[in-house]
Every structure is written in C-alpha cells, then in structure tokens.
Amino acid sequence: MTEPPICPLCDRPIPPEAPQSLHHLVPRLRGGKQGPTVLLHQICHSEIHATLTETELARRYNTVEALRAHPRLARFIAWVARRPAAFHARSAGGRRHR
C-alpha cells in the first residue's frame, strides 16, 4: 500500500476519501494553463481562492512558499493542521471579488 500524498500547503496527508484538487500555481487565466500544479486538500485550495485574487496569485503568490507566508493563509494553516487529514468544511471568507 502506498502512502497518501502530502498537501504542500498544510503538510497533512491527503487520504483517498478526502476532497482534493489541483491548484495551478499561476492561474490558468493569467498564463498558467501549462504551468506547474500542486495537489491540495479541497479546503486548502478553497481558502487560497477565498483569500487571494487571480492577479495576486499570478504576480506574488505563485509558489507554495509564498502562499504559506501570507498572513491569513498562515493562520488558516495553523488552524487546519489540528484537524483530521480528511476534514473538510466550507471556507469562511467566501470568494474575493475579481
């Protein structure tokens, strides 16, 4: 049996039953269609998009390290790290206006 992948944002395992999705480090609409992607928990992916605009993601937050350094995402990571690996809930902030 293989080990589940690790979410690069929160460093928790992503079990097969956990909601998950691919995140384009540079948004597709900002030139990242063929760019690198990372597999994340869906809750982590949703929080990224609830926190940052596509432009902010393309210009300043296009690496995992930059995402982890963002103050709101850092607080989210500290919170979600205490949850079970398969935990999922709606993001509190909603999507930002584009």
The span from the CA of 20 to the CA of 40, in Å, is 6
State yes or no: pLDDT of 42 exceeds 90.
Answer: yes
The residues spanned by each domain of the chain are: 20-80
Q: Which structure tokens are listed for 79?
A: 């919170």
- For 66-93, letters b (16+ CB in 10 Å) and e give ebeebeebeebbeebeeeeebeeeebee
Q: How many CA atoms lie within 13 A of 97 on its CB side?
A: 0
Question: pLDDT digits over 49-88, tens only?
Answer: 999 999 999 999 999 999 999 999 999 999 999 998 989 8
Q: How many CA atoms lie within 13 A of 70 on its CB side?
A: 22
> Which residues have C-beta within 8 Å of that of residue 51, sequence separation ≥ 6?
70, 72, 73, 76, 93, 96
* pTM of the entire predicted model: 0.88
State yes or no: pLDDT of 90 exceeds 60.
Answer: yes
